[in-house]
Amino acid sequence: SQAEVMGSDENITTFILDGFGKASRLDYLYFVCALLLYLITLSTNLLLIAVIVLKKSLHEPMYIFLCNLAVNELYGSSTLLPKLMFDLLSEKKMISRIGCYVQVFCVHIFICNEVTILTVMACDRYVAICNPLRYATIMTKAKICKLLLVALLYSVFLHVIVVGLTGRLPLCGSTIQKLYCDNMSVVKLSCVDTSVNNLFGIIMVALTVIIPLTVIMYSYMQISIICLKTSKEARGKLFHTCVTHLLTFFCFLIGGLFVIIQHRLNAETVPYSVHVFMSLEFLTVTPLFNPVIYGVRTENIRTEIIKLFRTRTKPLIKN
């Protein structure tokens, strides 16, 4: 009855995160790995942000986007890894209901921002290579700031609706089969029909996956057509720009799509270890490697990092 449903819902104030399995001595090893992962992610992204902010020569559209991407990586890692490390050292892997909704909101904002920034970066490269004479007038700093602000507000607006729709559901369960809270894991605990949530979930997939993927593929197809008609140098630039960007995007997309398909199709035949790895891969590996991919492979940033370290080490050598 409705009374029983409401009674069950009122009793649920915490969720159990059951993705860890049975506690074992390996939890300490996993904690050390997660700590190292978090520290490396923090240090590399902070270094990239510092170099771009401090060097005026890098105050150009492409580097502004990279800086925002690094900020988003810091935010995304901080919404997941500290809680994950705490749970690895805790006997009971639990999270409050409010805390779970907050984590759902924060993790999904990170995902949406990541995809949006990568899509805008593809458009930036498209304008730079296909319309070089108009690039300076199209991609002004004012337009870039507005674009990034709109992208952020867009993500927040969408996920306020997501969490609002999920928060209204009465729940009859409190065990989440993951290492962290995500929206569909909470929706599955509902006692009532979730058609509205499922429909909005499909709309979200279209808005945050299908449309950005279409824009990115179209941008790089046009870039490829232009570059393949020109010199070897242009083709080299194409390879450097496109492959790096597409590698980053697809690395992030594969993990995200796996989680979506897992929820939609209930893929129980997939080994548990694969579930765990794929649910974490796109939230942890991308923030770890993006600074290396974009920082080390981008000559201007690499040069400025080397200069920064040289200026810092010269006084130490003299002393």
- pLDDT value for 241: 67
Phi-psi region of 278 (alpha: psi -120 to 50; beta: other; left: phi over 0): alpha
Q: Categorize the per-residue pLDDT at 262 as very low, low, confident or very high, splitting at 50, 70 and 90.
A: confident
> 17: which 2 tokens?
């995160």
Q: Categorize the per-residue pLDDT at 242 as very low, low, confident or very high, splitting at 50, 70 and 90.
A: confident
Looking at residue 68, its amino acid is N
Looking at residue 158, its amino acid is L
- pLDDT value for 314: 57
- pLDDT value for 9: 57
* CA angle, 44 then 50 then 52, to 5°: 105
Q: Categorize the per-residue pLDDT at 5 as very low, low, confident or very high, splitting at 50, 70 and 90.
A: very low
Q: Categorize the per-residue pLDDT at 105 as very low, low, confident or very high, splitting at 50, 70 and 90.
A: very high
The sign of the torsion formed by the CA atoms of 305, 33, 38, 180 equals positive
For the ranges 70-74, 143-147, 295-299, 305-309, the lowest mean pLDDT is seen at 295-299
Over residues 238-264, the mean pLDDT reads 75
Rounded CA-CA distance 18/282 in Å is 20
Q: What are phi and psi of 96, to 5 degrees?
A: -65, 160
- pLDDT value for 4: 40
- Reduced to 3 states (helix: H, G, I; strand: E, B; else coil), residue 14 is strand
pTM score, whole prediction: 0.86
Q: Categorize the per-residue pLDDT at 22 as very low, low, confident or very high, splitting at 50, 70 and 90.
A: low
Rounded CA-CA distance 296/299 in Å is 7
Please give the domain boundaries of the chain with CATH numbers for all domains: 2-314 (1.20.1070.10)
> 220: which 2 tokens?
């790089």
Over residues 126-140, the mean pLDDT reads 87
The sign of the torsion formed by the CA atoms of 60, 66, 72, 75 equals negative
- Provide Rg for the chain, Cα atoms: 22
Rounded CA-CA distance 148/155 in Å is 11
Work out the mean pLDDT of the chain and round it to a whole number: 82
List pLDDT tens digits, range 139-182: 888 888 888 898 889 889 989 999 999 988 888 888 888 889 98
> 27: which 2 tokens?
């939890």
- pLDDT value for 100: 93
